[in-house]
Amino acid sequence: MSLADFLNKLDELESEASAALQTVSDSEQLESLRVRYLGAKSGLFKDVQKLLGGIGGDDKPAAGKRLNEVKRSIQQALELAKDLVAGGSTAGSGPAPDPTLPGIPMRLGHLHPVTQTIEHLKEIMGRMGFSTAEGPEVEDPWHNFVALNIPEDHPARDPLDNFYLATAGAVAASEGSRLLRSQTSTVQIRVMESSKPPIRVISLGRVYRPDAPDATHFPMFHQMEGLLIDTEVTMANLKTVLRIFANNYLGGDVEIRFRPSFFPFTEPSVEVDFFWNGQWIEFGGAGMVDPAVLTGVGYDPEIYSGFAFGLGIERLCMRRHGITDIRDLFSGDLRFLKQF
């Protein structure tokens, strides 16, 4: 017999046995197939094995090697079929599942501490009648600067202090350029452009600045902007709203302090400090909306006045939870995040 004929017979035997063993449904059938293929006296494998004697001497090693392979392959198919019959299912090998064993506990995720803080701030401000407004994170210089009374040559527009986007043909800081907003004050303008007073909104979201990361600075952080426009609004209203906010958010009787400051879009402008746990802590900026900003959006500053504030949300979150390094919030370290 030629080597090719011998190998053909082995291939046929292997595929026939494999196909037959895949359909086994009980142990009797399994035993009869075992005898049919691997039976010591009259098994089909034995029949082919007997033909090995007729193979020429040079071809014997190759024929013997393939013979052993096919035997192993049929034995493996038999073992697999045995498992299937024992498990009573065709879904896989191994012992049958035990439905009385306790299940694997599911790990529940939760909201990021900054997101939790955002929800909390919305709730507190909502109780004071502030609704939520949103604005885009990719802004044009009009909303980020011009409408906020920050003229072309103002240092705040410097490409080194902002993330300008490399859009085709745009020159950084020119009117056609786009940038990642550096403050949520942009949303003040968008709200005033699209609605009439009285206005009472907050806007919470991401802002971006090329600040070097340290314990209290990150290049991406969140701010809560507040804007209230009506007739006869004063600094006393601003202070009251911020005090009620701080008492609710930090708990207890938080004192509030205004320090003179400067923002191009408010006049007068202040830095806002909260006295909490025995020390003064700065949380943001605020002030009375500058008449030039009101005029720019078509409001008559003789009739309307208003206040605005912008607070750092990470700083608020850190104070409340005793977090000492802002970078922990964005490390993605589950051991840290699981604590909140």
Q: Note the residues at the interface with ligand FA5 (CB under 6 A).
A: 183, 185, 209, 211, 217-218, 221, 223, 263, 266, 269, 282-287, 308-310, 312, 314-315, 326
- Minimum CB separation of residue 313 from ligand FA5 in Å reads 8
Return the structure tokens found at 165: 């986007």
What is the rounded distance in angstroms from the CA atom of residue 121 to the CA atom of residue 15?
Answer: 69
What is the rounded distance in angstroms from the CA atom of residue 19 to the CA atom of residue 98?
Answer: 30
Judged by beta carbon, residue 34 or residue 222, the one nearer ligand FA5 is 222
Half-sphere exposure of 195 (CA within 13 A, CB side): 14
Which residues sit opposite 124 in a β-bridge?
none
Judged by beta carbon, residue 66 or residue 142, the one nearer ligand FA5 is 142
Judged by beta carbon, residue 145 or residue 309, the one nearer ligand FA5 is 309
- Minimum CB separation of residue 105 from ligand FA5 in Å reads 36
Number of Cβ within 10 Å of residue 319's Cβ equals: 16
What is the rounded distance in angstroms from the CA atom of residue 138 to the CA atom of residue 258?
Answer: 31
Return the structure tokens found at 130: 């502030």
On whether the CB atoms of residues 23 and 79 are closer than 8 A, the answer is no
Q: Which residue is nearest to ligand FA5 (CB)?
A: 312
- Minimum CB separation of residue 217 from ligand FA5 in Å reads 4
Return the structure tokens found at 166: 């490399």
Write the single-letter amino acid at 270: V
- Minimum CB separation of residue 290 from ligand FA5 in Å reads 9
Judged by beta carbon, residue 221 or residue 299, the one nearer ligand FA5 is 221
The alpha carbon of 87 is separated from its chain's Cα centroid by a whole number of angstroms, namely 42
- Minimum CB separation of residue 239 from ligand FA5 in Å reads 14
Rounded to whole angstroms, the maximal C-alpha distance in the chain is 114
Half-sphere exposure of 325 (CA within 13 A, CB side): 7
Judged by beta carbon, residue 70 or residue 285, the one nearer ligand FA5 is 285
Judged by beta carbon, residue 276 or residue 283, the one nearer ligand FA5 is 283
Judged by beta carbon, residue 177 or residue 266, the one nearer ligand FA5 is 266
- Minimum CB separation of residue 141 from ligand FA5 in Å reads 15
What is the rounded distance in angstroms from the CA atom of residue 17 to the CA atom of residue 70?
Answer: 10
What is the rounded distance in angstroms from the CA atom of residue 122 to the CA atom of residue 278?
Answer: 27
Judged by beta carbon, residue 45 or residue 299, the one nearer ligand FA5 is 299
Write the single-letter amino acid at 166: A
Half-sphere exposure of 317 (CA within 13 A, CB side): 25
Judged by beta carbon, residue 163 or residue 218, the one nearer ligand FA5 is 218
Q: Left, alpha or beta for 279 (phi > 0: left; psi -120 to 50: alpha)?
A: beta
Which residues sit opposite 179 in a β-bridge?
139, 164
